[in-house]
Amino acid sequence: MYRSVVKCLFVLPSYINNTNRHFVFSPIITSNYSHFSTDSNTQPLSPPNPNNYQLHPEIKASSSSSSSSSSSSSSSSTAEGAASPHYETHSSKEEQRQRVEYQDEQACVLRASLHHVVRLGWTEAAMIKGARDVRVSPSIIGSFPRKEAALVEFFMDDCLQRLIDIIDSEELGNLIPSERISKLVQIRLEMQAPYISKWPQALSIQSQPLNITTSFKQRAMLVDEIWHAVGDQASDIDWYLKRTILGGIYSASEVYMLTDNSPDFRDTWAFLDRRVKDAFDLGKTLQEAKYLAEAVGAGMGNSVQGFMRRVFQG
């Protein structure tokens, strides 16, 4: 077998030379001792020492060139990697800018659509009219997944922002809390007075399963802003109780307003004032019940006296 191997190694180069191919056979690895032996007395070979091997000069040159090329490629890739974050940052900023511009365009379409709600209702037709008013292709309406709901929700957000601006600009400190609440709820309901004939349709859109979550969130934010304007600092169960009660008052006044034929909705504002007053009287009653429970639990005359003082002071 070894002869065959040696024969192949020496015959193959000569054959290649005879075919006019420039091939020079040279051992790639040279060793100071032989690995192959047929002598039965030969001692077992010890593991080869890597230090005894020497690379052929051509292999050294090729290995050094490959290592230099790999290092240069790695450095170039590193340079590309260092440059890529800048490119990605620039690309992300450009995408963000385009997204903001598109959202502004959508807002312009929705705002213009409100002018057509009185005649066309909270419909896609009103949105198409609004798009044409601002010289935008009506195809943009397809970018709103919930078309009519997007229009109603835009109106609700816009009214909330306008109410916040009024809260920041007006002085409400000279009003008692109940009057402040009544005034702010009235201001908010007056914003939808121009659309009162179409507001039942808006309520129907808000009550749909896909829209009710956003509708509830918008009303919760409205109620929370009103309580903050009053100066409420509650952080316990009263926080939830107050907002639940005011949310009910707002919704009841909103529905009452739909059937109010009085001039400037005077009956609605009277209804609102009564409901707010009843809520504050209920709050006082609940506070009195709390004091009474404390007094009964203490079971002492001094506590009862303190309870009476707090009731008449409140």
- At 199 the pLDDT is 96
DSSP, collapsed to helix, strand or coil, labels residue 62 as helix
Locus of tokens 């230099």: 68
For residue 14, is pLDDT > 50? no
Q: What pLDDT, in 10s, does the model give residues 49-65?
A: 444 444 444 444 444 54
For residue 91, is pLDDT > 70? no
pLDDT band for 88, please (50, 70, 90 cuts): low
HEC string for 98-126: HHHHHHHHHHHHHHHHHHHHHHHCCCHHH
Length of the chain: 314
User: Which residues have a Cβ under 8 Å from the Cβ of 73 and sit 6 or more positions away?
Assistant: none
Q: Please, how many CA atoms are within 13 Å of residue 265, restricted to the half-sphere of its CB? A: 21
Range in 16-25, 198-207, 227-236, 278-287 with the lowest mean pLDDT:
16-25
Find how far residue 214's CA is from the centre of its chain: 14
For residue 191, is pLDDT > 60? yes
Q: What pLDDT, in 10s, does the model give residues 254-272?
A: 999 999 999 999 999 999 9
Find out whether 195 and 153 touch, Cβ atoms under 8 Å. no
CATH fold, domain 148-313, is Tetracycline Repressor; domain 2 (1.10.357)
Higher pLDDT, 157 or 90: 157
Find out whether 242 and 234 touch, Cβ atoms under 8 Å. yes
How far apart CA 37 and CA 308 sit, in angstroms, is: 116
Percentage of residues of the chain with pLDDT beyond 90:
43
- At 117 the pLDDT is 97
pLDDT band for 13, please (50, 70, 90 cuts): very low
- The torsion angles phi and psi of 28, rounded to 5 degrees, stand at -75, -40
Give the 3-state secondary structure percentages of the chain, helix then strand then coil, rounded to 5.
75, 0, 20
pLDDT band for 105, please (50, 70, 90 cuts): confident
- Residue 140 identity: I
Mean of pLDDT values over 241-261: 93
How far apart CA 245 and CA 253 sit, in angstroms, is: 12
Range in 71-85, 207-221, 278-292 with the lowest mean pLDDT:
71-85
Find out whether 229 and 173 touch, Cβ atoms under 8 Å. no
For residue 111, is pLDDT > 80? yes
For residue 148, is pLDDT > 90? yes
Q: Report residue 85 as tokens.
A: 């974050």
- At 287 the pLDDT is 55
The residue extents of the domains of the chain are 90-144, 148-313
How far apart CA 13 and CA 25 sit, in angstroms, is: 6
* Averaged pLDDT of the chain: 74
- At 85 the pLDDT is 53
DSSP string, 75-87: HHHHHHHHHHHHH
